[in-house]
Structure 1
């Protein structure tokens, strides 16, 4: 029950008629709206509270064991992004969910930004000639005091960067892969504070990403795609769509529609008896770490 749970998950659950909040679990904190509150999922399972599904909003490093326990209880599992600290543990959860007959949802909230599906449709019948992704934000503003993000498995600047990749893997017509990567790692941290990655798609088109956690002033969450029939720009994390300099769609609300969209999708896959576990954004991040040259930079002190 951290910041994202309070800011996004609780309002989205409250606005979805298919889902009722039954209880909350956290190592610290207190009850929400007087509902049952537990320190861990084991306490929840041992209680008399009836649970059909859980939403896990923990850091990725500790999520696998919690998710596996929940699957064993026969609960459907919604996982915040990124779905795990490694690809192998997500694959293990996927197999366990299939064996138990429950739904597993690896959520990517940025894919539900207002401009993403219109951008995907516009690009579908065009030839991409180049793409540039700029994702620069101030870690002190968006992740204050979150030391886990700097630990192994915490992703560093790839925690927001994977949001950009979740959009890019959705809207770009062809798969793409890492060619080179350069990761700036503070001398007192284990995860990168900035990164530059060069991708190439299966048609040979260059796709570049620039990530930086040190951005002050205006924040940048932009994806520009140049094609044989014009230029598309997704800005503000996917909420504003511009084509050839003309605004085609805009919404200024913070994460407008993203988490309601996620919970609608979760209810949909539970009803259908399916899972939705796309690891393509996580795979690209893992490959960036595999291919990346680490550059030691000045210490980061919050």
Structure 2
């Protein structure tokens, strides 16, 4: 007897925590199904998708680096949000067609549901990075009414992304944020400020993100997409300074929750007990 299965593909792929997440949810719900990781080289993508397309037990795959853009040409259609972002992280077979989705944007927003449900006179996000994660985050926040400051070493890439966004945008060089800022922010007032690290800086083996905390508005939520380590230097400094923080596991779990629905046709467990147990597994 065969069971439905999904997987995550990438190069490299050994580091992926996605099988732990989906496997935990499958066990928790008592569903027949499996989720694994598969090493796929760029040259093998066409053959891989052709084989999976013909497999009736295959429910789809998540896509990680470096394939999020390369798979687009091999799909039959894209969800509108994935088309706007220009990257796919979830592929699902639907009525014989392969459809590309991007769950990164919604996954990023999931842990911000509380603040986003409130009304604000002004919403501003400072996003560090111009790669695939930054693209998804910027498009997601633009849809939530944020004015966005895109920050990166490559200001040309930041400007190109800014031109795609239907919101107020600004571009700034990364090195500007390394030095102390002489500025009186005053009271936070009726506003929502986010500071987001969408780069690999702060990841294990990488230098920290070079941002001086004087650049953070009072009460700004500091959100780091890096999850190894879970407490990056940016989050440790921000937490010590009294800022609310969101770690990278929140986005990882959020985007996986949406993909799980696509793959297995049901909602992943969302109760506090399940989330706590899952985080314990992911941080062992």
TM-score normalised by the shorter chain: which range applies? Answer: 0.3 to 0.5
Normalising by structure 2, what TM-score? 0.47
Structure with bigger RCO (C-alpha 8 Å, 6+ apart): 1
How does the TM-score come out when normalised to structure 1? 0.45
Bigger fraction of residues in strand: 1
